[in-house]
Amino acid sequence: ARDTFGAMTGLYGAIQPADSVSLSTRTHGAVFNLEYSPDGSVLTVACEQTEVLLFDPISSKHIKTLSEAHEDCVNNIRFLDNRLFATCSDDTTIALWDLRKLNTKVCTLHGHTSWVKNIEYDTNTRLLVTSGFDGNVIIWDTNRCTEDGCPHKKFFHTRFLMRMRLTPDCSKMLISTSSGYLLILHDLDLNKSLEVGSYPILRARRTTSSSDITSGSAGPRAVGSPCHQNESGPLSEKHLSRSSQREGGSPRNSLEVLTPEIPGERDRGNCITSLQLHPKGWATLLRCSSNTDDQEWTCVYEFQEGAPVRAVSPRCSLRLTHCIEEANVGRGYIKELCFSPDGRMISSPHGFGIRLLGFDAQCRELVDCLPCEASPLREIRSLYSHSDVVLTTKFSPTHCQIASGCLSGRVSLYQPKF
């Protein structure tokens, strides 16, 4: 299997900018998100000006335009299976669509009070999970959908929420914030609503690196915790002190609050703008920008399980393993990066193009090249075919193909030519 993956990454490394195909999006505005169907037969494009575009990524032909998919910007698209997909928007709604009948929505979901930015799907329970700038994570029971919507409940709330992801096995939920915190809900149980104070809370602390292990971990930044009991302030020390209760096994939905280490950012705040998970659940991928917007970083953090690294402090679930500085262009826009289907490469928006990054020059798997201390990601290939800032990129799940979308609305497909 590793030889097969090695051949695939070799093909990705051979792609040239001239191999790209431009998909015209005319006046649909910026491309905020790209999503392939699980079988790779359809590429969906979330656009700034209320529309969703559908393309055949193999023939590069336009299939359909959902011209009024929403009443405001379309932010994210998520396939639930090969035919059913969900879209979310700044109009505060989520829409369900069926590829077999695109003339009308399956249903529209109302529950958020601000821009909806993220959609996840728990394949075990068939529950849809959404998050928005209202700070809410909402659970939707898609098993009982009607034309009027489907049953839902507020699962979690935090201030400054940016992105929310589920690990591939749906055992953890990760939430990033604009205040630089990363929240991890361990042993996830989506059937249980979380009220403030109803879950065990772990101490807010900075993620470890090998230098931290030898010289002592740095404490968290002196800012308010993103979780709160009321609108007046952060969690009290009484609640934070519960972290000492969890050293071994953890109860369901126990919360860990981290301040990920960012190179050069120890004394400065940062915003975690993009959050992705390794397809095998080994690591998380973050795109971070400084609060002054003068630096951007892509960082990889390995999930650590088991005993604490040091007996004198609680175990930190994440360890910084790789990072690289990004082009600081397109300030104010979120750049969505992604892992390849095998997890051996990262596609990252970089100025007017994308960079393909590996953990080492041979694009080996993360578990085969874990460094003793944080190492730079290796640039495998740079592909520049846009005339504006690239905002999002995505690997095809089934073919040797990469898609990217930019601020002016162009979508490019990269694939090797034979």
Boundaries of every domain in the chain: 19-205+253-307+314-410
pLDDT of residue 198: 53
pLDDT of residue 41: 95
Between CA 204 and CA 202 the distance in angstroms is 6
Q: What percent of the chain has pLDDT over 70?
A: 78
Between CA 340 and CA 38 the distance in angstroms is 13
Q: What pTM was computed for the model?
A: 0.84
φ/ψ bin of 169: left (φ > 0), alpha (ψ from -120 to 50), beta (otherwise): alpha
Express each pLDDT in 43-96 by its tens digit: 999 998 889 999 999 888 889 999 889 999 999 999 999 999 999 999 999 999
Residue 8 token pair: 């695939």
Residue 320 token pair: 């910084």
Please report where in the chains the tokens 């431009």 appear, as a residue. 22
Q: What is the pLDDT confidence band of residue 260, given thresholds at 50, 70 and 90?
A: confident
In Å, what is the CA distance from 115 to each residue of 5, 90, 134, 300?
Answer: 38, 4, 7, 27
Of 47, 58, 50, 1, residue with least CA distance to 24: 47
Express each pLDDT in 241-253 by its tens digit: 333 334 444 578 8
Q: Which residue has the higher pLDDT, 393 or 225?
A: 393
pLDDT at 159 over 70: yes
Q: What is the pLDDT confidence band of residue 269, given thresholds at 50, 70 and 90?
A: low
Instruction: Specify the range with the lowest mean pLDDT, choosing from 29-43, 202-216, 379-393.
Output: 202-216
pLDDT at 212 over 70: no
pLDDT of residue 418: 65
* Neighbouring C-alpha atoms within 13 Å toward the C-beta of 153: 9
Q: What is the pLDDT confidence band of residue 220, given thresholds at 50, 70 and 90?
A: very low
Residue 247 token pair: 């050293």
pLDDT of residue 73: 94
Q: In this structure, what are the phi and psi dihedrals at residue 144, rounded to the nearest 5 degrees?
A: -125, 40
* Contact indicator for 258, 205 with CB cutoff of 8 Å: yes
How many C-beta atoms lie closer than 10 Å to residue 355's C-beta? 24
pLDDT at 283 over 90: yes
Between CA 337 and CA 327 the distance in angstroms is 13
Q: How are strands ordered across the β-sheet holding 318-325?
A: 270-277, 283-290, 296-303, 318-325, 375-376
* Neighbouring C-alpha atoms within 13 Å toward the C-beta of 190: 23
pLDDT of residue 148: 72
pLDDT at 180 over 50: yes
pLDDT of residue 278: 96
Looking at 2.40.50.140, 3.40.50.2300, 2.130.10.10, 3.10.20.30, the CATH number of the domain 19-205+253-307+314-410 comes to: 2.130.10.10
Helices (H) and strands (E) in the chain, counts: 3, 30
Between CA 227 and CA 156 the distance in angstroms is 10
Q: What is the pLDDT confidence band of residue 230, given thresholds at 50, 70 and 90?
A: very low
Q: What rounded mean pLDDT belongs to the chain?
A: 81
Instruction: Specify the range with the lowest mean pLDDT, choosing from 23-27, 108-112, 222-226.
Output: 222-226
Q: Which residue has the higher pLDDT, 144 or 37?
A: 37
pLDDT at 182 over 90: yes
pLDDT at 411 over 80: yes
Q: What is the pLDDT confidence band of residue 264, given thresholds at 50, 70 and 90?
A: low
* Contact indicator for 164, 118 with CB cutoff of 8 Å: yes
pLDDT of residue 380: 92
pLDDT of residue 26: 63
Residue 150 token pair: 């489907």
Q: Which residue has the higher pLDDT, 130 or 227?
A: 130
Express each pLDDT in 99-149 by its tens digit: 999 999 999 999 999 999 999 999 888 999 999 999 999 999 988 877 777
Express each pLDDT in 330-356 by its tens digit: 878 899 999 999 999 999 999 999 999
* Contact indicator for 21, 60 with CB cutoff of 8 Å: yes
For residue 363, the Cα-to-chain-centroid distance in whole angstroms is 21
Terminal Cα distance for the chain, rounded: 23
φ/ψ bin of 125: left (φ > 0), alpha (ψ from -120 to 50), beta (otherwise): alpha
Instruction: Specify the range with the lowest mean pLDDT, choosing from 128-142, 279-293, 309-323.
Output: 309-323
